[in-house]
A and B are shown apart, each in its own frame.
Chain A
Amino acid sequence: MPDLAAVAAAHAGTLDTSGFDPLIVVPRESWRQLAGALAARGVWFSDVTCMDRGETLEVVALVCASPTEQITLKTVLPDGYLVVDSLWPVWPGVDWLEREAYDMFGVRFTGHPDLTRILMYDGFEGHPLRKGFPLETEEEA
């Protein structure tokens, strides 16, 4: 496991070890740099997703330092400005994961090669996993 406190501090972030996995929260500006610094220390990605917290939206990257050591990375975006650097230059495999996060939450990943909808169809309006998106419309109910 790399020295997470130092990595977090170098990217203006905080380290929280109270949960099951260590959690690093960084500002949006250092999101890709944080991933790059961890990748340089042998960390690989498992998942990238989001979580709607109402006023804010958390972008979550679940990464692994070894098969059993997981690290959670987060950056918090205000609801009105959902833009963050793509991790695609660091880990090319996040391509589809970020497309899904865009599709489901509306986060725009800058630097992503092909940020299009993936599970919903192209003309679909809205982002289904936002808490404000209804489970069913009135006609369906």
Chain B
Amino acid sequence: MIADHPRVGHVTTGGTTESIVLNMGPQHPSMHGVMHMQLELSGETVLAARPVIGYLHRGIEKLAEHRTYAQCMVLVDRLDYISQYSNEWAYCRAVEKLAAIEVAERAEWLRTLYAELVRITSHLLWWTSVGLDLGAFTPMIYAMLPRERIFDFFEATTGSRLMPNYLRFGGVKEDVEQAELDGIHDYLAVDYMKLLDDYDTLLSGNEIFISRQEGLARITTEQAVSWGVTGPMLRATGCPRDLRKDARYGVYDQLDWETQTDTRGDALARYTVRVKEMRESARIAMQCIERMPAGEVRTKVAKILKPPEGEVYVRHESTRGELGIYIVSDGTAKPYRFRVHSPAFMNVSALPHMLPGEHIANFFAIFGGADNVMAEIDR
């Protein structure tokens, strides 16, 4: 038995068959990062699931209390390390709201562009692993191509593939070369779109792949909201909640794009939403490059920032859902309280509700659909 006391998702067998507890992870090769999943099984059916997390806990919230606001930027990079620009942007939005900092107009366009490019790279990595989880090895190799091309673009401007430390309060660190912008635009418009078509024939239209995902772990919008699930997982239940549309930050309201949803609520719907978002994000990124105005990319902000006393909570549509940054300032140069509300944390906390009743062989199809990043869950 997983635990002595009852918990949600726990089902007693009631029959004569004895259940067994299977430990998956934290070193299991198909686990996504260092996560430990305890599964209570009756034969091949999951009775209860208990994710055990914390293996990657670095105490980022505690560390942030001992650093100045500008120094915290490198910490937020290391939250969800495959959608770094989203984290940085969420953090910048919180501090800028708290300290009433104006953002340079061109920087808003650049931030939107980078956030969408990183959403593409993040979804590409998810796409590789979702195939791998179900035994398809080829996607992993294929999707690395566009990912590396976009990383080249990141590297050309920020000097780093993964840990950019690019955003600054009031703007971004520095401007991007026009040639680089044109290069990534042309790549997205032609090669990338062609690759996405290839990917659809590889996985999305693959009969085996579809039958492995269809009807798995079906959830409703009400369930998703009550568990705190956000992002593509929520949109896969037909709920069009997307802070990029609702909260209107960045330049999203000036661009032509649609929130991607799917009404089926199962693993296949979660797959479909993310695949559609890979196209839509490319559309947004291309429009940003086409319409970006010239000008300064940074406003003048004090080197040692001391926001006035107060508190702010900003929710941001990160790749995995609503990333919340809660900052309490006591008027000094360091945050008094720095809180990260992680979307992946909430999405994984819903797994004990979603897994019972499913077959063990389908575990990774459901788990992969949560698209978790342990660094952000454990912080």
Contact = CB atoms under 8 A, between A and B. Distances in A.
B337 interface: yes
Interface in A51-97: 51-52, 60, 62, 64, 67-68, 70, 72, 91-97
A92 B346 contact: no
A116 B5 CA distance: 12
A91 to B, nearest CB: 7
A44 B225 contact: yes
B63 interface: yes
A21 B134 CA distance: 45
Given A45-B228, A68-B247, A95 B8 contact: yes
Interface in B31-49: none
B378 A113 contact: no
Contacts of B378: 119
A44 B222 CA distance: 11
Contacts of A10: none
A62 B246 contact: no
B171 interface: no
A120 interface: yes
Most buried by A among B313, B328, B346: B313
| Chain B interface main SS type | mixed
Interface string A114-125: 100111110000
Contacts of A47: 313, 324, 326, 339, 341
A67 B337 CA distance: 24
A7 interface: no
B6 A113 contact: yes
Contacts of A20: 97, 310-313
Chain B contact-residue range equals 35 or more
A30 to B, nearest CB: 22
A19 B311 contact: yes
A72 B311 contact: yes
B36 to A, nearest CB: 11
Contacts of B225: 44, 93
A118 B322 CA distance: 21
Interface string A8-21: 00000000000111
Nearest to A64: B315
Contact of A95 (B229, B241, B310, B349): B349
A25 B378 CA distance: 29
A120 B59 CA distance: 10
Given A67-B247, A117-B54, 17 more contacts: A19-B311, A46-B313, A46-B322, A47-B324, A62-B313, A62-B326, A64-B315, A70-B315, A93-B228, A94-B228, A95-B8, A95-B349, A96-B345, A96-B349, A114-B5, A119-B54, A128-B59
